[in-house]
A and B are shown apart, each in its own frame.
Chain A
Amino acid sequence: MNQIPQLDFHPDAEALSAFAEQALPPAERAQVLGHIGGCGRCRQIVYLAQEAADEMEAPAWAPAPRPATEPNRWFGSWRLVWVPAAGLAALVAVAITLHHRPATQNADIAKATPQEFRAADSPTVRPMPSTEKSRAAALPVETKQAPAPARAESYTAPAETSATAAPPGATAANGGNFRLSSAQPNIAPPLAGGSGQAFTSQATPPEPNPETAVAAWQQEQQRAVDGLSNRAQAAAKATQMKMRSAADHMVASRAPSFGPTGAQIEATPSGSFHRDAAPAMAGLTGDWKAQPARLPSGLAPLSTAAAQHHMLAIDQAGTLFVSEDAGKGWVAVPRQWTGKAIQVRLWRTWSSNGAQQAQAVVNPEHGAGPVPPTPSAVFEMVNDAGLAWVSADGKTWKQQ
């Protein structure tokens, strides 16, 4: 190894420049590297040229200089967080709203529900299906504002009074699944019909006997009234009014615009019945569960309506069938309408002797006495053009 300094001979600018730019082949790079390792002049040239290059052009691996006019970078980086944060906050707000709304609705429903329905320890109480909850959400505001004293009284009402206050038809109609409280004396008469038994048994609907049911109901009501204090009676009446109002509003909200007034006539499309309103509406829709799987045409029913043992059904082809034996035998109804029948439903008018007195029954405050109402059924059929036909027996139809 020659250790004599060779300071007089140096790589030219081309080699040093190419060395700094990594453009030399390995062999020549090693030669230049060996030289500048021992040559302070060439090292200095390389350093200065590199510094000049750094001044003129920022290297690719160096971080970009921060602009002097840039605002608070920390805050700027958090600016992007606001978008998902706002979205998350909106999601939480919606979730809270949805969480509180069913609770409020449940509370409102509970207010309008007899005590025995709300008893958690009752083995006969079934939870409300979600579809029924959604329907219960349609209850009007006045229904939700049940007076507290009435609720308190209904809580204190003796169980035996509740049991005796309901007419026999009521308990039988529910098959023991629920009992009517003392707040339902005026609702009981409709339950006396055979339709109430359809809750538990669709096979043998009893023939309605309005006179017997009404007489029994009057007796039971008198006993219940005698057994209750005046205050409890007022509370029971108030609760009854609320329940009636709830059922009325529920029906009114579902009543079509072309039908009779919702206050006097209640529409109960078959197969869409509110369980809470079932006791009150049991007398209106008979076999609301009895939907035939197949009609004589071989098609599935598109829409059905039933009034006690009288049933109507429209198949998917638009053919109307009528059954007078609770769905055991079906007869096709001759076509008396235009278009394609798509829906059939039951309209009920509350009347005592043919005259419409539904208003008096629904709103007892208007001076109507305890006249037991008798429901009368009217079927309505709607075609695909929105036109409606009505029929009392399901066989003869008249355009409305």
Chain B
Amino acid sequence: MPPQPAQSAAPPFAAPPSAAAPIPAALLEELWRECGAEATGLSEAEFNGILLKIGAAQNYGLTAGTVPSRQQQAAYFRSVRLPDLVLAQACAAGNERAWERFLALYQQPMVRAAIAITGSDTLGRELAGSLYAELFGLTEREGERRCPLSSYKGRGSLAGWLRTILAQRHVDHCRRSHRELPLDDPLSSYDPPAPEPDCPQSLAELTVLDKALENALGEQDAEERLLLAAYYMDGRTLLQIARVLQVHEATVSRKLHRAIDRLRKRVLKNLRDAGLSRRAAEEALGADPRDLNINLKKLLQSSEPGPFQEKAAR
């Protein structure tokens, strides 16, 4: 018998006061049938409250202050994964029948996904168990039980969201534990500098090359940067990258070659802009990378300050 799920102090499906426009009865009835809300044990009033809460949370996809019309309400509800969203909200509200349905639908997939992510049956089951406990609301924050399911907004599938949560937990766990690794052999990963060349390039030339390369990488667009980082830094295969981007493997290969050619041309251009001749610029590209005083990882991982506000778990 699972423990009692988290219950919020306020009525779970009370319509938020900001919900200006009620949902039409016909639309509510249609969405009720499409979502199979009856299987989750929700009454029509509870279902209506969930929809109003979902809509008010994002103002039906409109800018703040805009009063949605009925058509905009219907379009918004059809643009999200409403069945998953209703189930997640019902679970977050502590509906027992919704939890039973959730377990029936997602318990085994969660375990399998966790095993696939961790690569270990034990670690996978442990990871899935910890996430299940977290979803069930056993954790408290600021004196209040928090259920991560309430943050699900229905933009992707609930299964995909759960897999991403599992991957997040696993990556954060590895990053935390990686920092705790003992430095048994600090020189094991030491990459010695290249031997002195016969005709060493001047420090000024290397500095120009560093700057040209840094600028060229900074001019690359997001997709090219992702391709270069995934292929050369993460060591991902073309097939793995293709599956993430949902394109064909050959497309990734073609884009990757195009990104490298473009990067080379930009570096050459930057070198010539810095005053080097064409021949000198091409010779500079043949410099030993170990002589360069640049951190490609740092350059590729630099990103613009985006709108993401989620802080990585420490």
Instruction: Tell me the A residues contacting B by CB distance below 8 Å.
Output: 1-18, 20-24, 30-31, 33-41, 43-56, 59
B146 CB–A CB distance under 8 Å: no
**Number of residues of chain B lying within 8 A (CB) of chain A:** 55
**0/1 interface trace, chain B 220-245, chain A, CB 8 Å (1 if under):** 00111110011001101000100110
**Given A34-B303, A35-B306: A3 touches B218 (CB 8 Å cut-off):** yes
- The listed residue (A13, A34, A59) touching B304 by CB distance below 8 A is A34
Contact call B164/A45, Cβ cutoff below 8 A? yes
Contact call A47/B301, Cβ cutoff below 8 A? no
- The listed residue (B166, B168, B303, B312) touching A35 by CB distance below 8 A is B303
Q: Give the distance in Å from the alpha carbon of A21 to the alpha carbon of B160 in the complex.
A: 8
Contact call A59/B113, Cβ cutoff below 8 A? no
Contact call A14/B153, Cβ cutoff below 8 A? yes
Q: Which residues of chain A are near B168, meaning CB under 8 Å?
A: 13, 16, 45
B116 CB–A CB distance under 8 Å: yes
Closest to B223 in A: A33
Q: Which residues of chain B are near A23, meaning CB under 8 Å?
A: 155-156
**0/1 interface trace, chain B 151-168, chain A, CB 8 Å (1 if under):** 111011101110111111
Instruction: Tell me the B residues contacting A by CB distance below 8 Å.
Output: 109, 112-114, 116-117, 151-153, 155-157, 159-161, 163-168, 170-172, 175, 218, 222-226, 229-230, 233-234, 236, 240, 243-244, 246, 298-312
Q: Which residues of chain B are near A54, meaning CB under 8 Å?
A: 243
Contact call B161/A13, Cβ cutoff below 8 A? yes
Contact call A12/B151, Cβ cutoff below 8 A? yes
Q: Can you add 18 more A-B contacts, CB < 8 Å, to A5-B302, A30-B222, A39-B301?
A: A3-B218, A6-B306, A7-B312, A9-B309, A15-B155, A17-B164, A20-B156, A24-B155, A35-B306, A35-B308, A37-B222, A48-B166, A49-B163, A49-B164, A52-B166, A54-B243, A55-B112, A56-B113
Contact call B308/A2, Cβ cutoff below 8 A? no
Contact call B160/A34, Cβ cutoff below 8 A? no
The minimal Cβ–Cβ distance linking A151 to chain B, given in whole angstroms, is: 77
Contact call A33/B226, Cβ cutoff below 8 A? yes
Q: Which residues of chain A are near B155, meaning CB under 8 Å?
A: 14-15, 17-18, 23-24
Contact call B304/A12, Cβ cutoff below 8 A? no
Cross-chain pairs A/B with CB under 8 angstroms, 12 sampled: A6-B303, A9-B312, A10-B311, A17-B157, A18-B156, A34-B306, A38-B225, A38-B300, A47-B234, A56-B113, A56-B116, A56-B159
**Given A9-B306, A9-B309: A59 touches B243 (CB 8 Å cut-off):** yes
Q: Which residues of chain A are near B117, meaning CB under 8 Å?
A: 48-49, 51-52
Q: Which residues of chain B are near A46, meaning CB under 8 Å?
A: 164, 167, 244
**Given A10-B310, A38-B300, A55-B113: A17 touches B163 (CB 8 Å cut-off):** yes
Give 5 nearest A-B pairs by CB, closest first: A37-B226, A34-B222, A38-B303, A37-B225, A18-B156
Contact call B161/A7, Cβ cutoff below 8 A? no
Q: Give the distance in Å from the alpha carbon of A14 to the alpha carbon of B164 in the complex.
A: 8
Q: Give the distance in Å from the alpha carbon of A337 to the alpha carbon of B114 in the complex.
A: 101
Contact call A56/B303, Cβ cutoff below 8 A? no
Contact call A41/B113, Cβ cutoff below 8 A? no
Q: Which residues of chain A are near B246, meaning CB under 8 Å?
A: 22
Q: Give the distance in Å from the alpha carbon of A195 to the alpha carbon of B221 in the complex.
A: 107
**Given A14-B155, A35-B306, A41-B312: A48 touches B171 (CB 8 Å cut-off):** yes
Closest to B314 in A: A8
Q: Which residues of chain A are near B310, meaning CB under 8 Å?
A: 9-12
